[in-house]
Amino acid sequence: MSTHSHPCANQHYDFIVVGAGSSGCALAGTLAANSKHSVLLIEAGSNNRSALVSMPKGIAKLVNKPAYTWVYQIDQKRTADTEQPEVWIRGKGLGGSSAINGMIWSRGQAADYDAWQQQGCTGWDWQTFNSALKAIEDHQLGPAANRGTGGQVTISPGPFRYPLVDDMLSAAQQQGLNLVDDLNDSHEERVGLYSHNTKRGRRVSAAKAFIDPIKHRKNLTIATHTFVRKVLFEGNKAVGVEVSIEDKTHAIYCNKEIILSAGALETPRLLQLSGIGPQRVLEYAGVNVVAHSPDVGRRMREHLAFAMSFRLNQDRIGNQHCFYGLGLAKHILQQQLFGTGALSFGPFEVGGFAKIGDAQWPNLQLYLSGYVFKLSDDNHPVPLSEIDKQPGLSLYGQLLDLQSESEIKIISPDPNIPAVIEPNWLSHPQDQQRAIQSLKYMRQLAQQPALSQHIDHEMVPGPLVQTDEEILEAFKRLATCGLHATGSCRMGGDEQSVLDPELKVRGVTGLRVADCSAMPGNISGNTNAPAMALGYRAAQIIQDHWAS
């Protein structure tokens, strides 16, 4: 493996994979397993070898550090002048967001993928995608119809329990959810402990799973600290990429294909910088048009979440004490020595999927944990900030079926100037109803006997927020992005889709996209597992193409 600052200027590779995130690592690792292919994996960030990356709860120390995250300022007018600007974050470095996320292994609903097939995405139905998921999974609960073993990604059930966990599960059952051992083994309303992509209490990022085992292969080159500026074309054929390395610009060339796996925010930006996108956007930005593709950067879907906070009436029933003083020291030792304890998994132990409104399938994802984050000056919790030392319950509800569509567009040919991101939150009337329904559902859950016995009072949004109008206003003011963007370079069977079902970019040759931007709709859950499976499936498609 070559991992240094100037490994590849003016070199040729069979395949160039841009972006070493969840999809890119799965794709590059699977392609490079065939020694006949020379593969270059390009990553703008570092190798992410910090001990805080491998420690699951270490994310709280990483998400605000530029070495580990991309920070996107969002073009969204807030509802009050005192509100902080909205920002979205993504992982930076080998593993991408899988190196800094909450590690929840959620596969989505079967109906999500069957809907892809109905939109003309042949070969992306649930049966096929489930096979890809199972192929990469090594689930510690053992094999099942919706669970794989022997794959690259170790998946572990929740390893840590404390008194409030059982009451969270009981309250959800009192609300009507079915208790299950594996939240991915059902598509009905359900509650259970989240499984995480961890192994013996340590994070298994996409880089750890797919790249580390083959990093010494001579046919795999990894270029970190390498920023891709644009794709290079001869006519309409993609022939290479232009990159910046230590403030110097170089060209790298491909013999077969370039695959963009830079994520749902960066991939459409790269396409537009390269001359592929809506003609009006490209011309406004001063970029020469290679191919007019109207949906590049458009029709993006996201999840939107609201974090309720409750003060508990007993000090030791939650787990806030695990993050301070002697409690923290104890759990650091447990995680380091035995892979157990409060630091050995992501931010939330308990999860659920519920139906609100007239949904046919669960469209509200629940996250529960026995602590709360400290409140900001304007009285709302700041996720992944300092944990409140007082006992609390976090109840986090994420809307999965939003109809509002976001847009990404460049404003300059300079790749160092950020694109404009317009989320258009709650612009669809149904989304506003879902927001109101979700908060009411969570309040009802907190009022179930198993939980209400422990709750002293509601902190956020607070008891003064009661009417539908007040709930919607609070939601608009305090909701946060789920960081699960899809669809900004959607595949489909129609000519307006950015990609065909083999992930080829329409209007040019030699260029594909393999990341969440290719997904033509919402995923009913976290997107990390589907992103890895999509990268693996993309490698299968590419290998089959070149084998024939």
Name the residues annotated as catalytic.
484
For residue 463, the tally of other CB atoms under 10 A from its CB is 8
Q: Where are the beta strands (DSSP E) in 335-382?
A: 350-354, 364-369
Amino acid at 256: K
Q: Report the distance separating Cα 516 and Cα 526, nearest Å.
A: 11
Angle, helices 429-446/163-174, rounded to nearest 10 degrees: 120
- Find where tokens 């993309």 sit: 538
350 is in an annotated binding site: no
Q: Of 161, 127, 103, 529, which is closest to residue 369 (Cα–Cα)?
A: 161
Amino acid at 517: S
Distances (CA, A) of 195 to 6, 246, 348, 350, 352: 39, 40, 10, 9, 12
76-84: Cβ within 8 A, 24+ apart: 76/422, 76/423, 76/425, 78/477, 79/473, 79/476, 79/477, 80/378, 80/477, 82/378, 83/378, 83/477, 84/376
- Across 355-381, b (16+ Cβ under 10 Å) vs e yields bbeeeebbbbbbbbbbbbbeeeeeebb
Q: Of 522, 297, 530, which is closest to residue 430 (Cα–Cα)?
A: 522
Q: Report the distance separating Cα 432 and Cα 136, nearest Å.
A: 37
Alpha helices (H) in 137-203, listed in sequence order:
163-174
Residue 240 has what DSSP assignment? E
Residue 499, CB-side half-sphere exposure with 13 Å CA sphere = 30
329 burial type by CB count under 10 A (0-12 exposed, 13-18 middle, 19+ buried)? exposed
Q: Of 48, 122, 24, 63, which is closest to residue 497 (Cα–Cα)?
A: 122
Helix, strand, or coil (residue 516): helix
Helix, strand, or coil (residue 345): coil
Residue 212, CB-side half-sphere exposure with 13 Å CA sphere = 13
Residues annotated as binding site for FAD? 228
Q: Which residues are annotated as a binding site?
A: 228
